[in-house]
Amino acid sequence: MNRGKTPPRKVQSRGSPQPELPGQTSLSHVFQLPSKYLTNNQPPTHPGIMETLSFSSSPAPPTNLTNPSPSSPHPSTAQPTDTFPFPPHHSFPPFFTLQPNLTTLSRQLALWSSLVQSYCSHHRLFRLSLPTAPSLPLFSNPRVHRHLDLLSIRRLIDYMTSAEGDRRAEWILPLPTSSSLASSVALQGTSSGKRREAHTIPNELKTAAYVWWKTPEEWADVIYAWVEGTGQKGSVLTVYELREGEEVARQDWVGMEDEGFRRCLDVLVKRGKAQVFGEVEGAGVKFF
């Protein structure tokens, strides 16, 4: 009998899990995007459907982002009423806190981008207004008492406008005015219609953005396929007819703003498949 003897101490092997550091809570979760999000009508997901993300409960480092000035909501950013099937990770609380680890953050932003595209495609939303975006069900989940804050939403849109984010968003800049700030922006090429990188745009101008759940090039393909399918080659149609006419009532691009729609037509013009002429209101388009 070995009564009174202290039992041998267990030695932790090198392969054993290490204890968590004091003051840190490490969480891990496997994000699986259901196959219903991989249909032809939905935007592609981030490579590697099974995403294992280790989240820290600490918030992301502070940024120099500032709150945008309030503005009235745009019709295309109105609150949707029908139900969108959110993926499982929308109910994972740390998903709503941008992570400090850059590798983890990159995967997290890719998942958010895919979700934004799917949500906007489902509800036919073509733009987001930042002042009203936090109130969308997209960026909040009352069941887990979480929401994506305004600065994080702006950082997400910045990512979506980048090459890494596949150019799935584009900041909508105000028209030039007599103010020095707007004039400065105009001088840098805003009025020329060229895409500007997010880091060159003052934060106070980042109040609204297009969401390209189809890129302008993809929309151009869709529009031209409709033109060919309906025998409109050689015809002249007004921009209004193409955007809001009865013949296109069931097309996915209905509801797109005039400026965004013209971006798609510009792609066809550059390809030599269309010509736009006339004034802004009542402008005509001829397809070749």
pLDDT along the chain (288 residues), means of 10: 54 41 36 39 39 44 37 43 86 95 96 97 93 94 95 96 95 66 37 66 90 94 91 86 83 87 92 84 83
Q: What are residue 47's phi and psi, to 5 degrees?
A: -55, 135
Residue 154 is encoded by which pair of tokens?
């702006």
| Amino acid letter, residue 47 | P
- What is the pLDDT at residue 116? 97
Q: Give the residue from 201, 36, 211, 207 showing the smallest Cα distance to 121.
A: 211
Concatenating the DSSP letter of every residue in 107-156 gives HHHHHHHHHHHHHHHHHT--EEETTTGGGSGGGEEGGGTEE--HHHHHHH
CA distance 247 to 249: 6
Q: Are 169 and 154 in contact (CB under 8 A)?
A: no
Q: Measure the CA angle with vertex 197, ends 56 and 253; round to 5°.
A: 95
Residue 125 CA to residue 64 CA, distance in Å, equals 28
Q: What is the pLDDT of residue 4?
A: 55
Phi and psi at residue 32, in whole multiples of 5°?
A: -125, 120
Q: Model's pTM, two decimal places?
A: 0.68
Query: What is the per-residue pLDDT for 232?
Result: 84
In the numeric block, which tokens belong to residue 196?
A: 């500007």
Domains (range + CATH), the chain:
86-173+202-213 (1.10.10.570), 214-287 (1.10.10.10)
Question: What pLDDT shows up at residue 225?
Answer: 92
Task: For helices 150-161 and 102-123, give the axis angle rounded to 10 degrees.
Answer: 90
Encoded tokens for 22: 């004091």
